[in-house]
Structure 1
Amino acid sequence: METMLDYINEEEATLKNILAKFTLKKDVNFKKINNLLILATGSSYNACLAAKVTLEKFAAISVTIEEPYNFNHYGRISDGIDAVLAVSQSGKSASTIDAIAKLKKEGLFTFALTSDVTSPIAEAVDEVLDLEMGIEKVGFVTKGYVTTVLQLFLLGLTIADNKGALLPEQIDFYRSELKKVISEIPNVIAKTNDFFAVHEASFKLGTRFIAIGYGPNWGTAKEFETKFTETVRKPSQGFELEAYMHGPYLEANSEHLVFFIETKSVNRARSQALKTYMAPYVGQALTITTQAAENATELGLEVECDELLSALLLVIPFQILAYKIATAKGIDLNQRIFDDFDRVLKSKV
């Protein structure tokens, strides 16, 4: 039976294959995009949040991300929106399908990013983009998450090419950088396994898990929240750096295990200052960084990586830790629970 780890170990090959096959596509609809609305939920939403800064930077556009159910019932489409992207790995998210159908009636260009190009969501849009990663059979998505992030990066380069927002040599540079980042995945996996072995005892006893990130890795922190909630099944929450400083820190106590997600950035010093302050008040304060580790509390990936691309790598340690901590706690992730949930609640079609 396939597990989360099986799909994590496929990530490097899958992303390399996608990047190798990627070609810039001329599309008059992409050339017209200035303000993009993205509809997504769950891990797809988190991946969009992680890619948002990069997509905006590459394509010189503004991106708004909405939860489709709430938007469909209570939202209002801005006059400035000129395209809508639906992101659904399965292509069966009922709320996303309903929302995209409603927006299509407004005369907007709609397209979807999905792993099933024959799915209901593919039939509801004007154009379909294939995630190119096959069908992920394990419910706790991992390979699908990083694939979504990469495909959104590549969408940014495609829109940039259509709009003339990046020079050809700039596009080539980012493609080369992505190739280097993806090649680091085996090292990231190995370093994470070693880090888990050092901290296994405290991870096993943990009852409250928190991650704090900034920039693109606010999305990483939110995916941490999703993965740990699904697998470790203990209270878990992901925060944007400054947001944590405006109230959530007040609940800190010795039962909290806090991860700080860091990249080479102007915000790194603020994150480090927060860790230094919070360390005496929590059970453990740990860092996952693209830089080298300075002590045993840090998982240093030692990757020279542009912050714009860092979310592709920094999520992988959390995917591995989610599986390993759940297993250490005796949780059998192969044992399905709430098996009738989607059928009863009609969350998928």
Structure 2
Amino acid sequence: MTTMTMFDYINQEQETLTNILQMYDFSSDPSLAKMGTVTVLATGSSFNACLSAKIAFEKLADVSITIEEPYNFNHYGRLIKGTDTIIGVSQSGKSASTIDAMQNPHKSEIQRIVLTSDLTSPIAQVVNKVIDLNMGIETVGFVTKGFSATVMQLILLAIKVGVSKNQIDEQRLAELKQELLEIISNIQSVIDKSNAFFEHHENLLKLGGRFVALGYGPNWGVAKEFETKFTETVRRPSQGFELEAYMHGPYLEADWEHTLFFIETPSVNQSRSQALADYMDSYVGKILKVTTEKSSDAAVLGLDVTISEMFSPLLLIIPFQLIAYRTATVKGIDLSKRIFDDFDSVLKSKI
């Protein structure tokens, strides 16, 4: 039996997202038309995916969303008054903290929805509606395809809510579907460009001691997923920050060991990002950028795609998934070898 790798799953993303979009049922659902104030419960890469999709979801579905870490919410949290929907996200469906938070007593009129890739998993038994992530079971612990599928499913759920509220008509629905198809069609090109970018900076990344990613808007979620992926695979100090938050303290630790990644899309915040990059350039080892725009600068991975900012995480995450995998590989880290093998059983983090 062939052992799957992160790279294998990255290469499946284009086909998987295409299938998800083509198979999606956008018909109106009366239960979703009532959605207005939403609490989302997720942890790890699922949390990062929700953060990446939050702006698109709020805009397309006309809702307000709060994203909570389920363990903390279960023990210390409180639902915002007027909450009508709780959405849990667990790719495996076995996250103990998410299951506990979803099944805790709440008002009966609050609908509970879960997104999972295992429809028979424990979390599927404690909710009103189960949404299949529709990407199969990802056997590699360092999820890539699952992250992208979660972002896509949340965007499509938001569109379905908008349709159910009669806020998205047939013409607008067709436009959104076409935009998403065009985004998906660029995935292979992004993979190829990311591979070339990695190879150009391979020595820098191989020797890097501290990695930081900065993003704004929906790509704050991409920066956080960068943190998760690099921590899990490269196993060097790595963090992801919202652009402005980095300016309020974290920049003070910057030194020559730091490699800073700036994630940029055309936005009112882009000039702020560029000003920070220019300032930090003389204080860190290297500034690298990933942007949706075109670039001939060797330090900038320019994807050269036209894409709305709210959907941009679907493409901007891919370079970091690939760079994490390839950096770990050149560092000699065998990602197929399990470490902390008894962690889940001892700490009971998964059922």
TM-score range normalised by the length of the shorter chain:
over 0.9
**CA–CA separation in structure 2 for the residues paired with 1:180 and 1:103:** 43
2:172 aligned residue: 170
State how many pairs are aligned: 349
- Measured after TM superposition, the shift of residue 105 of structure 1 is 5.3
Does residue 1:206 correspond to 2:217, yes or no? Answer: no
**CA–CA separation in structure 2 for the residues paired with 1:91 and 1:23:** 22
- Measured after TM superposition, the shift of residue 264 of structure 1 is 1.3
Q: How does 1:150-229 map to 2 (within 5 A)?
A: 150-229=152-231
2:322 aligned residue: 320
Give yes or no for contact 1:104–1:125 (8 Å, CA) kept in 2. no
Pairing partner for 2:20 from 18, 26, 29: 18
Code of the residue aligned with 1:225 in structure 2: it is E
**CA–CA separation in structure 2 for the residues paired with 1:68 and 1:147:** 21
Code of the residue aligned with 2:101 in structure 1: it is A
| Length-normalised TM-score, structure 1 | 0.99
Code of the residue aligned with 2:89 in structure 1: it is V
Q: Which deviates more, 238-247 or 106-115?
A: 106-115
Pairing partner for 1:307 from 286, 306, 309: 309
Does residue 1:341 correspond to 2:343, yes or no? Answer: yes
**Paired-residue identity, %:** 59
| Length-normalised TM-score, structure 2 | 0.98
Code of the residue aligned with 2:280 in structure 1: it is M
Code of the residue aligned with 1:266 in structure 2: it is V
Per-residue CA distance 1:10-53 (angstroms, 9 max, x = gap): 00000001111112133222010001110000000000000000
1:136 aligned residue: 138
Code of the residue aligned with 2:305 in structure 1: it is V
Q: How does 1:1-349 map to 2 (within 5 A)?
A: 1-104=3-106, 107-349=109-351
Give yes or no for contact 1:116–1:135 (8 Å, CA) kept in 2. yes
Per-residue CA distance 1:234-267 (angstroms, 9 max, x = gap): 0000000000111111111000000000011111
Secondary structure of the structure 1 residue equivalent to 2:281: helix
Secondary structure of the structure 2 residue equivalent to 1:280: coil
Q: 1:20 to 1:28 in 2, by over 3 A?
A: same
Q: 1:63 to 1:103 in 2, by over 3 A?
A: farther
Which runs of no fewer than 5 residues in structure 1 stay unpaired?
A: none
- Measured after TM superposition, the shift of residue 166 of structure 1 is 2.1
**CA–CA separation in structure 1 for the residues paired with 2:46 and 2:107:** 24
Give yes or no for contact 1:53–1:216 (8 Å, CA) kept in 2. yes
**CA–CA separation in structure 2 for the residues paired with 1:130 and 1:104:** 24
- Measured after TM superposition, the shift of residue 159 of structure 1 is 0.3
- Measured after TM superposition, the shift of residue 104 of structure 1 is 4.2
**CA–CA separation in structure 1 for the residues paired with 2:180 and 2:55:** 16
Secondary structure of the structure 2 residue equivalent to 1:175: helix
**CA–CA separation in structure 2 for the residues paired with 1:76 and 1:38:** 12
Q: Which deviates more, 220-229 or 287-296?
A: 287-296
**CA–CA separation in structure 2 for the residues paired with 1:134 and 1:295:** 38
- Measured after TM superposition, the shift of residue 273 of structure 1 is 0.8
Give yes or no for contact 2:84–2:109 (8 Å, CA) kept in 1. no
Secondary structure of the structure 2 residue equivalent to 1:237: strand
- Measured after TM superposition, the shift of residue 294 of structure 1 is 3.8
Q: 1:34 to 1:28 in 2, by over 3 A?
A: same
Give yes or no for contact 1:225–1:237 (8 Å, CA) kept in 2. yes
Give yes or no for contact 1:38–1:66 (8 Å, CA) kept in 2. yes
Q: 1:267 to 1:103 in 2, by over 3 A?
A: farther
